Amino acid sequence: MIEDILADTGAKMAKAVSHAQSEFGSVRTGRATPVLVEKLSVDYYGSEVPLQQLAGFSVPEARLLVIQPYDRGAIAAIEKAIQNSDLGINPSNDGQVVRLAFPPLTAERRKDFVKVVKHMAEEGRVAVRNLRRAARHELEALEDGGGASADDRERAEKELDKLTTRYVGDIDVALEHKERELLEV
């Protein structure tokens, strides 16, 4: 039973780390990448649809993202969704594709993005710690219910702390990488 709790918590912690890493990907680094827009919700004929289901993406140049809708009638809706997003970029279209030209990032804007990424990393760490706390409660309940001894619970808590340290470390490594990427000119 203890092994099940530890395995389940480890899997949930891994998901929290991958979520934090995907959040990092949504922060702009000066290079165009489809990750910045593919999750945007587009009002497509009355329903909210992720942009990645409505269009294909290409990056012909480092600072240019081209969005090719599968349905040309969606161009106006795609443009509106991009304008309403927090990207701060005005899309242009030629009736066939939507183009997003990313301006170079200023030093001040880069520092703002670093703060945003640090906040995302802290949210990831908090999620991992919350999972540890929930697992500890499960272990205590197991001990109180007679399913495990106090020694077994203590050993499991030490293993849980190792898991927590490992996954928080993974978030820190991803944060360090993203910071370097953001501050690179």
* CATH number assigned to the domain comprising residue 120: 1.10.132.20
User: Is the per-residue pLDDT at 118 higher than 90?
Assistant: yes
Residue that is written with structure tokens 């706390």 in the block = 133
Q: What is the identity of the amino acid at 32?
A: A
Whole-angstrom distance, CA of residue 4 vs CA of residue 17? 20
User: Is the per-residue pLDDT at 28 higher than 80?
Assistant: no
Does the pTM exceed 0.85?
no
pLDDT attached to residue 27? 79
Ranked by mean pLDDT, the top range of 38-47, 88-97, 118-127 is: 118-127
Mean pLDDT, residues 50-66 taken together: 91
How many domains does one find in the chain?
Answer: 2
Whether residues 110 and 164 fall in one domain: yes
Confidence of residue 156 (pLDDT cuts 50, 70, 90): very high
The pLDDT > 90 percentage for the chain reads 56
Ranked by mean pLDDT, the top range of 86-95, 143-152, 160-169 is: 160-169
Whole-angstrom distance, CA of residue 154 vs CA of residue 136? 10
Whether residues 47 and 18 fall in one domain: no
Collapse the DSSP code of 92 into the 3-class scheme (helix H, G, I; strand E, B; otherwise coil) and give the result.
Answer: strand
Give me the CATH number covering residue 62: 3.30.1360.40
Domain that holds residue 89: 34-101
Whole-angstrom distance, CA of residue 78 vs CA of residue 67? 9
Confidence of residue 185 (pLDDT cuts 50, 70, 90): low
Residue that is written with structure tokens 């007679």 in the block = 146
pLDDT attached to residue 55? 93
User: Are the beta carbons of 12 and 131 closer than 8 angstroms?
Assistant: yes
Whether residues 143 and 115 fall in one domain: yes
Residue that is written with structure tokens 């991992």 in the block = 128
Whole-angstrom distance, CA of residue 157 vs CA of residue 129? 13
Among 74, 101, 128, residue at a domain's last position: 101
Across-strand partners of 57?
67
Whether residues 169 and 114 fall in one domain: yes
Mean pLDDT, residues 134-163 taken together: 92
User: Is the per-residue pLDDT at 51 higher than 80?
Assistant: yes
Whether residues 110 and 19 fall in one domain: yes
Helices (H), the chain: 2-25, 75-84, 107-144, 150-183
User: Are the beta carbons of 89 and 36 closer than 8 angstroms?
Assistant: no
